[in-house]
Amino acid sequence: MTRNSRPDGTDESEFDAPDSRQTPADGLAIAYRPARQPWRQIRFEERRDADGWWLINEEWTGCSWRTVGREPVDEIFVNAE
């Protein structure tokens, strides 16, 4: 993967972050790239075993997302400015 290549294989010069395969009904995903580190992603997925959501932290390995942490969340508030 080149420096301008995103996890989904497209040229990064045309986009700012990797596309999410999630829809609003399925959950929410935010991908970002810290300075000099691989892409990271946080996802919120609805819990099936209880009320609330799972907050899932992932890191891009070069070919797929690897889960590095997960915790339950009661509520989500999104504020886009």
The position carrying tokens 């992603």 is 41
C-alpha–C-alpha distance, residues 12 and 56, integer Å: 24
Interval 3-54: pLDDT, tens: 545 666 655 554 444 454 444 456 789 999 999 999 999 999 999 999 999 9
The predicted model scores a pTM of: 0.65
C-alpha–C-alpha distance, residues 9 and 19, integer Å: 10
Interval 14-24: pLDDT, tens: 444 445 444 44
